[in-house]
Amino acid sequence: MIYQALIVDDEEIVCRGLAQFIKWEEHGFEVAGIAYNADDALALLKTIHVDALFIDIRMPGKTGLEMLPIIREEYPDIKTVILSSYSDFSYAREALRYQVFDYLTKPVNLKEMEGLLDRLCDVFEGQQKQSELYANRTKALLLSAARGYQEMLPDKFDLPQMEGWLGLALALRNCQLPENELLQKKNAMKEQIMAVVPEAILLDESVFSLFAMIPCRTEKNGDTFLSMLDTLCEAWQEWACGVSSFQADLNTLHEAWQEAQQALCYHRAEKRGGMILYRNIKPLFAGEVPQIQEILTETVNRLADPSKRDQVLLYVQQGISQLLKEGADFTNHQIICIRYLIELNGYLHKFNLPEEELHTHLNETLSSLLLCQREHEVSEHVLCYLEWLLTLLSRSDDQQLGKGIIREIQLYIRQNYNQDISLNSLSEQFYLHSNYLSRLFKEKTGKNFIDYLIEVRMEKAKELLHSTDHKIIEICAMTGYDNPRYFSKLFKQYTGMTPREYREQK
């Protein structure tokens, strides 16, 4: 990264000398501008980005010392360096009140100046790393809270404040794209959202999906953004989008995430791109209708494990019967079954089944459900649909099924190698039992999950050691390890050299 410097001095020869004779580029800087008085410098700061300000302490009109409190108040991120032909310590002492970075006397020694630039560069890079760590930590906390794994505590974790917002679950409809194309499309969608709402928070929900938190003070403001996004999605025809109801603060993050995911599941029952708003399907989630999430999750888990598919029909039949015992009338029974089938369809994209066939059969079943007169007819249609689905899965060849899921897991690991990834976390992410996932991963790749994770991390470590100047302890953290000694041990086992030996050899 190139940092921007502004030189301010009433002597033109000093400004031009610094701009021309200092090797700015070699030390990570370029001169963004020159000003010959304080007022011009302040005007320039309103039009350009500046990281470091080099300012004469005494100038006609407003002095450098008089500029310091203004810079401190309006541009707190700028690092200021005082230049002066006056070596009186009182000037430096006064400047220190405003936390200047350094104080140099004129004429400036070029070596001293370049050494100062190196120190500045180290400070900026350290701040950038801290900022990235904070952003990654914040996003990890938000995603964990959204999924319900962690309690939402905005004050404790110093999370962003939102007076009003919408949650968006976005998913690519085509899961078979090459990895580089997947990343391109996700990054393009992020850029489109950030261009409209720069304050949006974007979380990588999975390999193929995003969860976006869109700040909007009122529901009307949210609708304005949604109309723009709807036009975008319609144009691409590649994204499905579910939108939560309007949220007042972050304490309802998990509920918003659930609403957006439910809307997204309903969207996948459609053939087109675009979005579905939770408020439009909210009647199907009335308080008196029993929740079906547990049955739905277990259904997907059993469908994903060929050894457990023969248990699906009996499990669903018993589960729906239990929900009816909780007091659901005939209308609610219909709603339960319609919800169940539509949301189940939202998860079937993971199985690489023919979409056209899925849509057609689902819509035929839903039409039949709406015409039913008795409860047992509703249940029969649900079970008939599941029988057809089991036949379709068998026909599609579970070898292809396993290959598709394992490919998605491999993509996820390669994109999130620096996170805390475990077999249990992957099993929750991909709705697979951990034992089955472990066996399937070994069968499809020839490697254990943990060996594959180490391989991905070590290859990334090699790349960082070879192409960057990051410290080894930093590379340890950047590749997902918090114990440098363990990292070095694994690296030597993998390459036959310690990280330091590898870097020296390269």
pLDDT by residue (tens digit) across 407-460? 788 888 888 888 888 888 888 777 677 888 888 888 888 888 899 999 999 999
Q: Is the pLDDT of residue 10 over 80?
A: yes
Q: Is the pLDDT of residue 285 over 70?
A: no
Q: Is the pLDDT of residue 269 over 70?
A: no
Using pLDDT thresholds of 50, 70 and 90, give the confidence band for residue 194. Answer: confident
Count how many residues are written for the chain: 506
pLDDT at 100: 83
Q: For residues 300 and 312, what is the distance between their CA atoms, to the nearest angstrom?
A: 9
Query: Nearest to residue 257, comparing CAs of 244, 266, 268?
Result: 244
CATH H superfamily, domain 417-505: Homeodomain-like (1.10.10.60)
Q: Is the pLDDT of residue 489 over 60?
A: yes
pLDDT at 257: 92
pLDDT at 223: 86
Query: Nearest to residue 201, comparing CAs of 162, 156, 173, 232?
Result: 162
Listed ranges 39-53, 130-144, 153-167, 411-425; the one with the highest mean pLDDT? 39-53
pLDDT in tens, 38-81: 999 999 999 999 999 999 887 888 888 888 889 888 998 899 99
Q: Is the pLDDT of residue 155 over 80?
A: no
pLDDT in tens, 70-119: 988 899 889 999 887 765 556 666 666 777 888 887 788 888 888 999 99
Average pLDDT of the chain?
82
The SS3 call for residue 63 is: coil
pLDDT at 92: 61
Give the rounded distance of the alpha carbon of 346 from its chain centre.
22
Using pLDDT thresholds of 50, 70 and 90, give the confidence band for residue 1. Answer: confident
Which of residues 203 and 427 earns the better pLDDT score?
203
Contact between 466 and 506 under an 8 Å Cβ cutoff? The reply is: yes
Burial of 345 (C-beta count, 10 Å sphere; 0-12/13-18/19+): buried
Structure tokens at 147: 């999924």
Here the contacts of 180-188 (C-beta below 8 Å, separation 24 or greater) are: 182/207, 182/208, 182/411, 183/415, 185/238, 186/210
pLDDT at 29: 92
CATH topology classification for 3-125: Rossmann fold (3.40.50)
Listed ranges 305-314, 316-325, 372-381, 455-464; the one with the highest mean pLDDT? 455-464
The SS3 call for residue 373 is: coil
Q: For residues 152 and 167, what is the distance between their CA atoms, to the nearest angstrom?
A: 15
Q: Is the pLDDT of residue 348 over 70?
A: yes
pLDDT at 286: 57
Which of residues 502 and 350 earns the better pLDDT score?
502
pLDDT at 272: 56
Q: Is the pLDDT of residue 398 over 70?
A: no
Q: For the packed helices 375-396 and 398-415, what is the interaxial angle rounded to 10 degrees?
A: 80
pLDDT at 8: 92
Instruction: With residue 380 as reference, give the H or E element that holds it.
Output: helix 375-396
> What's the whole-model pTM score?
0.57
Order of strands, edge to edge, in the sheet holding 274-277? 201-203, 209-215, 165-172, 239-243, 274-277
Which of residues 9 and 89 earns the better pLDDT score?
9
pLDDT at 165: 92
Mark 150-177 as b/e (b = at least 16 C-beta within 10 Å): bebebeeeebeebebbbbbbbbbbebee
Using pLDDT thresholds of 50, 70 and 90, give the confidence band for residue 402. Answer: low
φ, ψ (nearest 5 deg) of residue 169: -100, 115
pLDDT at 233: 62
Q: Alpha helix (H) ranges present in 237-354?
A: 253-267, 278-281, 293-304, 312-325, 330-347
CATH architecture for the domain at 165-276: 2-Layer Sandwich (3.30)
| pLDDT (average), residues 7-17 | 89
| pLDDT (average), residues 485-506 | 88
Please state which of the ranges 44-48, 152-156, 190-194, 315-319 shows the lowest mean pLDDT: 152-156
Please state which of the ranges 135-139, 154-158, 197-201, 351-355 shows the lowest mean pLDDT: 154-158
Which of residues 381 and 1 earns the better pLDDT score?
381
| pLDDT (average), residues 235-261 | 85
Residue pointed to by tokens 């078979």: 176
